[in-house]
Amino acid sequence: MQEFLSFIPAHLISSFSIIFGAILGGIFSWLINKNSTCKAIETQSKIEKDKREYQEQNKAHKLNEYATIIQLDICTTLFQSLRMLKEFDDKNKISIYPVPMNFNYAEAIVALTKIFNLKEMSYIYQLYGIIEKLKNDTNEYHNDERHYTLIKEDCEMFIKKLYGINFLKALIFDVDKVTYENLYDNEIIKLGYKNVLIKLGSIT
């Protein structure tokens, strides 16, 4: 081998070494760049995946929050209405209970448009129309006959909206013992409202 190389001019060996070195350097650079690119793509894909998962989790959390807002408003109004109606016949005992309402309810309802159809959304808005009126009337109560009558009518309207002809049966519920689920998962509530309230419960 040495004898063979001795016949090759030194400048050719030098050129060959440079070319060979350049080729090897290029190959190694390509391999390094390819590896770096693959790792960068893999890292970026993971970041995008984590971002999507976070967005989905955040979306689910928000839907849960909005469903809880609606459920709590309806639940509280239902309990308070039943409680007040039971006392309205005894004017010496009657207490006007506050009816809290989350002012973000419209935003909450809109957020659930992909889960509820238009008819179901209408059911929820109808209930909120009465809830808002009852809230205003209880806030303005001044222990007079006019407000007494308004609040009683509001409570009756809310219960009748949910139970219809079974209004009197709904008054049998013991508000100190009954659960919210018992109030809507039964045979006396209107089917449309029952389905809406069950669906709300499944989200929360």
pLDDT of residue 31: 72
**Encoded amino acid at 106, one letter:** A
For the entire predicted model, the pTM comes to: 0.74
What is the mean pLDDT of each successive set of 10 residues along the chain, which is 204 residues long? 52 62 70 74 70 69 91 95 84 76 90 91 95 92 81 95 96 93 95 95 84
Burial (CB < 10 A; 0-12, 13-18, 19+), residue 54, is exposed
Query: Within 13 A of 184's CA, how many CA atoms are on the CB side?
Result: 19
Give the phi and the psi of residue 140 in degrees, each rounded to 5. Answer: -100, 5
pLDDT of residue 51: 66
Domain residue limits, the chain: 71-203
What residue spans of the chain are helical by DSSP H?
A: 2-6, 10-87, 105-111, 118-139, 145-163, 167-170, 180-184, 191-203
